[in-house]
Chains A and B, each alone.
Chain A
Amino acid sequence: MPALHNAPTVVRATNVSKRFVIRKEKSLKERIVNFGRSQKHKDDFWALRDVSFDITAGTTIGLVGANGSGKSTLLKVLGGIIQPNDGKVERRGRLAALLELGAGFHPDLTGRENVYLNSSILGLSRKQTDEYFQSIVDFSEIEEFIDTQVKFYSSGMYVRLAFAIAVHVDPDILLVDEVLAVGDEPFQEKCMAKIREFQQEGRTIILVSHSASQVEDLCDRVVVLSHGHVVFDGAAAEGILALRESFEH
């Protein structure tokens, strides 16, 4: 992948911290009954602690770490879905978050209606969707079912359509959470080819993955998280080693 000279920074995270408070009660009754003792019914922990980094345009960066190390939280903070308690995230360019394929699908609507709805959620205008529609359907290879309600889709068809929409949203920054392994093998290869095309086009990809081989294969930078702290930030191969090491703690 071509590394650009003096590529601009597209994401800048400064001292980002996120604390989760888990209340064990939810209803009014429980709150009144436990009033004043509510501290006991709270658990809090820091999902992210003082995380800072810059990402330059065109890099593919892998966020890795053990379960519960805060990588998905970090991805959500970068995407603006969760606000940090402390610190700030600045970014520029169009961002698309692929945190779950088909998050915006409504089971009762047809594939066609969902394409329009989901592209709009991901930030495409109606005109752009009209333009890309055929290409989205071709990519998903489910043309004959496009006017069927998506609740009748097989899970494979569902993710194919969702992925097809996602890759047609022309993002500068793409956030990906464990969604690359979808569909059957030929479709997976198609997805990986698309990701590589994205890299060629200088898009920034931030991905969360548990697959060391995928990270090593795709990423040119790895950030290893452990208990909300950044424990390693650097080249992919060393990152994988650092990840293995972090498991032992």
Chain B
Amino acid sequence: MATQAEVRAARLAELPFEASASAGPRSVGGFVTSVREIFSHRELLDLLIRRELKSRYKDSALGFLWSLIKPLVQLIIYYVFIGQVLGAARNVADFAIFVFAGLTLWGLYSETISTGTASIVSNGGLIKKVYLPREIFPLAATGSAIFNFLVQMLVLIAAILVLGQFPVSLNLLYVPASIAVVLIWGVAFAVLLSALNVYLRDIQYLVEVVMLLLFWASPIVYSWSFVVTAVKQHTWLLDVYLLNPISLAMLAFQRGLWQAGNQTRVIDGKTIPPQDWPASMELRLVVAAVVGLVVMFIAQRIFARLQGNFAQEI
């Protein structure tokens, strides 16, 4: 009878040699290999997402309610100050739903990018000691952002139901499309920036500042109609505005969930026409998703190039 050692030796003799990651990045094949490797670690990804969520609010009495409190306070600030004090709500029907829809989707994007960017550096202890497909860390950050997004989504849907504004129509299909576009771009940037952040720590501070700017570059607290009116003289600027995939996704998301935007409403005796949504939004969304996938591919290739030195740079 063969001993355990002999059985093992026989089994090992059958296995092909695998070159460790040092074989160098091959473009498409390398991407496929990486995706397959991440897929085989999906259980770990799941555990890392749980770890992130569990540890974030551990030992706090309110726990994960905190992840709701922040957007709700934001909602109150924008509703009261921008909506009522500065008067944006006079031109936007159901302003609360409008703003909260925007904040929810924006939260997904900004949390994916900002926690994703820091993810490689903050998991340095693991990266230096164990080999794992490193893309898993920005992806885990994305996973926890998705969880927070879903919680906010529940609040949003509850609010829509309470106000009796449930938008049952084909427009609802815009919602998953917009989420997909945001996730594709969010993951692409998270992967790219997390790798760059290892070499240049300024990236994570830069990201904070840029996200602050980008917040105002998308129709979150002001409506699309406002943009259309503002650039009436130069309509080409609208196309520039829509080049930002997040602005486009934001519009699609609002089109799906914010019923007042598709209806004529009367506020204080003033008639508000439905939003003049940009033409061929479906096509634009498809293009944004496809371009996003290309960017994601490039980001992963750059990541693969840079990750060889992660362990010594962190």
Chain A contact residues, CB within 8 Å of chain B: 2, 4, 7-8, 10, 12, 20, 26-28, 57-58, 76-84, 87-93, 95, 97, 99-100, 103-104, 106, 108-109, 113, 116-117, 120-122, 125-126, 149, 172, 200-203
A-B contact pairs, 28 of them (CB 8 A): A4-B9, A8-B9, A26-B200, A57-B8, A76-B311, A78-B20, A79-B20, A82-B309, A82-B312, A83-B21, A88-B19, A88-B20, A92-B18, A93-B12, A93-B15, A97-B129, A100-B129, A104-B129, A104-B130, A108-B58, A109-B51, A109-B58, A117-B47, A117-B48, A121-B132, A126-B43, A202-B5, A202-B8
CB-based nearest B residue for A4: B9
Q: Could you say which residues of chain B place their CB within 8 Å of the CB of A104?
A: 125-126, 129-130
A83 near B12 with CB under 8 A, answer no
A81 near B19 with CB under 8 A, answer no
B54 CB within 8 Å of chain A? yes
Q: Could you say which residues of chain B place their CB within 8 Å of the CB of A126?
A: 43
CB-based nearest B residue for A122: B130
Interfacial residues of chain B within 128-174, with CB under 8 A of chain A in the complex:
128-132
Give, as a whole number of angstroms, the nearest-CB distance from B208 to chain A.
Answer: 14
B55 near A90 with CB under 8 A, answer no
Interface of B is mostly: helix
Q: Which of B19, B129, B201 contacts A26 (CB 8 A)?
A: B201
Give, as a whole number of angstroms, the nearest-CB distance from A212 to chain B.
Answer: 25
B229 CB within 8 Å of chain A? no
Interfacial residues of chain B within 248-300, with CB under 8 A of chain A in the complex:
none
A92 near B12 with CB under 8 A, answer yes
Complex: A78 Cα to B258 Cα, angstroms: 56
Given A20-B312, A81-B130: A113 and B51 interface contact (C-beta under 8 Å): yes
Complex: A122 Cα to B41 Cα, angstroms: 11
Interface centre among B9, B51, B132, B311 (most CB of A within 10 A): B9
A12 near B22 with CB under 8 A, answer no
Given A57-B12, A83-B22: A27 and B201 interface contact (C-beta under 8 Å): yes
Given A27-B202, A104-B130: A84 and B22 interface contact (C-beta under 8 Å): yes
Closest 9 CB pairs of A and B: A202-B5, A83-B308, A103-B129, A8-B13, A80-B20, A92-B15, A90-B17, A108-B55, A80-B131
Complex: A103 Cα to B125 Cα, angstroms: 6
Given A57-B9, A88-B22, A93-B15: A116 and B47 interface contact (C-beta under 8 Å): yes
Interface of A is mostly: loop
Give, as a whole number of angstroms, the nearest-CB distance from A162 to chain B.
Answer: 11
A106 near B312 with CB under 8 A, answer no
B47 near A97 with CB under 8 A, answer no
Complex: A224 Cα to B15 Cα, angstroms: 29
Q: Could you say which residues of chain A place their CB within 8 Å of the CB of B12?
A: 8, 10, 57, 92-93, 172
Q: Could you say which residues of chain A place their CB within 8 Å of the CB of B22?
A: 77, 80, 83-84, 87-89
Interfacial residues of chain B within 190-241, with CB under 8 A of chain A in the complex:
200-202
- Number of B residues near A (Cβ < 8 Å) is 43
CB-based nearest B residue for A18: B312
Q: Could you say which residues of chain A place their CB within 8 Å of the CB of B23?
A: 88
Complex: A47 Cα to B312 Cα, angstroms: 12
Give, as a whole number of angstroms, the nearest-CB distance from B139 to chain A.
Answer: 14
CB-based nearest B residue for A129: B43
A4 near B17 with CB under 8 A, answer no
Complex: A20 Cα to B12 Cα, angstroms: 33
A106 near B129 with CB under 8 A, answer no
A28 near B202 with CB under 8 A, answer yes
Give, as a whole number of angstroms, the nearest-CB distance from A69 to chain B.
Answer: 17
Q: Could you say which residues of chain A place their CB within 8 Å of the CB of B15?
A: 92-93
B6 near A202 with CB under 8 A, answer yes
Given A83-B308, A88-B22, A108-B59: A99 and B129 interface contact (C-beta under 8 Å): yes
A80 near B55 with CB under 8 A, answer no
Given A8-B13, A10-B12, A57-B9: A200 and B4 interface contact (C-beta under 8 Å): yes
Given A8-B13, A103-B130, A120-B44: A200 and B5 interface contact (C-beta under 8 Å): yes
B51 near A117 with CB under 8 A, answer yes
B6 near A80 with CB under 8 A, answer no
Complex: A28 Cα to B200 Cα, angstroms: 7
Complex: A126 Cα to B47 Cα, angstroms: 10
Known: A83-B308, A83-B309. 8 other contacts (CB 8 A): A12-B17, A26-B201, A27-B202, A28-B200, A80-B20, A82-B312, A88-B23, A103-B125
Interface centre among A26, A58, A83 (most CB of B within 10 A): A83
CB-based nearest A residue for B15: A92
Interface centre among A87, A104, A126 (most CB of B within 10 A): A104
Given A81-B131, A108-B58, A113-B54: A103 and B126 interface contact (C-beta under 8 Å): yes
Given A108-B55, A113-B51, A121-B44: A81 and B9 interface contact (C-beta under 8 Å): no
B29 CB within 8 Å of chain A? no
Interface centre among B3, B47, B125 (most CB of A within 10 A): B47
Q: Could you say which residues of chain A place their CB within 8 Å of the CB of B55?
A: 106, 108-109
Given A90-B17, A92-B18, A108-B58: A79 and B4 interface contact (C-beta under 8 Å): no
Interface centre among A88, A121, A126 (most CB of B within 10 A): A121
CB-based nearest B residue for A121: B130
